[in-house]
Homo-oligomer: A and B are copies of this chain.
Amino acid sequence: MKATVYVRPKPGILDPQGQAVGSSLRQLGFDVGEARVGRVVDLELQARNPAQARAELRLMCEQLLANPLIESYEIELADDA
């Protein structure tokens, strides 16, 4: 089963990487406002059904993929799994 996890800095949390991207884009002449940078993790996992996959992915996020204090995550399962 294929899954994708999106990890983003929570609103209000300082995002230096996003600030750097935003200011570099403006220096290049692009008219952009706020920029925020997060991670996307594509995973291949063994799970019997979507519910089990989601439960495991939540655990992975809490334990490794995201820092729940400052980051939020979204889980997406591929339909063609």
Q: Could you list which residues of chain A lie within 8 angstroms of chain B, going by C-beta atoms?
A: 6-8, 18, 21-22, 24-25, 28, 30-46, 56, 59-60, 63-65
Contacts and interface: CB of A to CB of B under 8 A. Distances in A.
A77 to B, nearest CB: 14
Number of copies of this kind of chain in the complex: 2
Given A24-B64, A25-B60, A25-B64, A43 B32 contact: yes
A31 B45 CA distance: 6
A3 to B, nearest CB: 9
Contacts of A22: 43
A71 to B, nearest CB: 12
Contacts of A45: 30-33
